[in-house]
Amino acid sequence: MALTTRPRRRLYIRIAMCLAVLVTAWHVFASFLWIAPWAPLREVVGQERLSSYMIPMFGQSWSVFAPEPINGDYRFEVRALVGGATTEWVSATDVELTMIQYQLFTPRAGIVAQDVSSQLKAAWARLDGDQKSVAELNYFEDAWEERMAEAMTAYADTNSVDEYMEQEHRATAYATQVAYALWGDDVERVQYRATRQNVIPFADRHDPDAEPPGIQYSPTGWRAPVVNEGQSQQAFEDVFRAAYERMGE
């Protein structure tokens, strides 16, 4: 009985298979380090290198599970001053959710507003009372970010101010993209609201009269539009505007 030998795979196929195995092994290892509690093993890769790989495409956590599951809804609402008239508030979060509801393969664009809102609200919560009062003021003249940071640091805690101003810049840039996508290039100023509303407590889940707790606000004033270098307003508008119009159908 003659023995048959399988033909050897071509060299480029073997190389491609080895690369695929290495990439898969690295991704599984990086995901394990990212999800697991901090341990010295994480220093094998380095926190900065690990973060740059996992964020924003592969970030994940166990926050949907006990003992500390997600227990609140975040929203990011935007309005603008256009031609001297103030627009209505628009929930960017609700617009983006239309991209992921009833979708098997969901885009990360569907959770940007939620992330902006949660990060801004967390940074705002770490400010003291006087600094929060500064955040509520209108800042839209030249060098408004520098003047706002200076006003906050006049009270205390530079670290919390630096963290908040980073999130303020990000939120303003995102609100600017939303405003331009909805109301055009004549937008003069933007204002946004980052809110959180806790869900009905677990113990009251069967109570038909139970209502969610009140909405928590992190109020901010009017801001001058912010456009970051390298961003594509047209690409954002194509995606966000289409989702906004679908929501109204």
For the chain, what is the mean pLDDT?
87
More confident of the two residues 179 and 32: 179
Chain centroid offset of residue 244 CA:
18
Residues 116 and 33 in one domain: no
Does residue 239 form part of some domain? yes
Residues 41 and 138 in one domain: no
Query: What is the pLDDT at residue 66?
Result: 59
Tokens (6 digits) for 7: 């033909």
Question: Could you give the number of structural domains in the chain?
Answer: 2
Sign of the dihedral defined by the CA atoms of residues 151, 159, 170, 86, in that order: negative
Residues 130 and 215 in one domain: yes
Residues 99 and 163 in one domain: yes
List, for residues 151-196, the tens digit of each pLDDT value: 999 887 678 899 999 999 999 999 999 999 999 999 999 999 999 9
Residues 6+ apart with CB under 8 A from 71: 198, 199
CA gap 45, 57 in Å, rounded: 18
Does residue 2 form part of some domain? no
Q: Are strands 90-91 and 216-218 parallel, antiparallel or unpaired?
A: unpaired
CB 188 within 8 A of CB 85: no
Does residue 219 form part of some domain? yes
Give the pLDDT band (50/70/90) at residue 201: confident
Give the pLDDT band (50/70/90) at residue 101: confident
Does residue 79 form part of some domain? yes
Does residue 234 form part of some domain? yes
Does residue 241 form part of some domain? yes
More confident of the two residues 29 and 36: 29
Domain boundaries, position 33: 11-54
Does residue 6 form part of some domain? no
Residues 47 and 80 in one domain: no
Nearest CA to 99 out of 237, 243, 235, 233 is that of 243
Residues 122 and 149 in one domain: yes
Residues 44 and 90 in one domain: no
Residues 142 and 104 in one domain: yes
Residues 93 and 46 in one domain: no
CB 195 within 8 A of CB 160: no
Residues 28 and 125 in one domain: no
More confident of the two residues 16 and 155: 16
| pTM for the full predicted model | 0.75
CA gap 77, 88 in Å, rounded: 10
Sign of the dihedral defined by the CA atoms of residues 166, 172, 176, 178, in that order: positive
Element housing 86 (H / E): strand 85-86
Residues 94 and 159 in one domain: yes
Question: What's the rounded mean pLDDT across residues 113-134?
Answer: 92
SS3 26: helix
List, for residues 69-83, the tens digit of each pLDDT value: 667 889 999 999 999
Residues 28 and 76 in one domain: no
CB 177 within 8 A of CB 192: no
Sign of the dihedral defined by the CA atoms of residues 6, 11, 16, 22, in that order: positive
Does residue 67 form part of some domain? no
Q: Residue written as tokens 């705002």?
A: 124
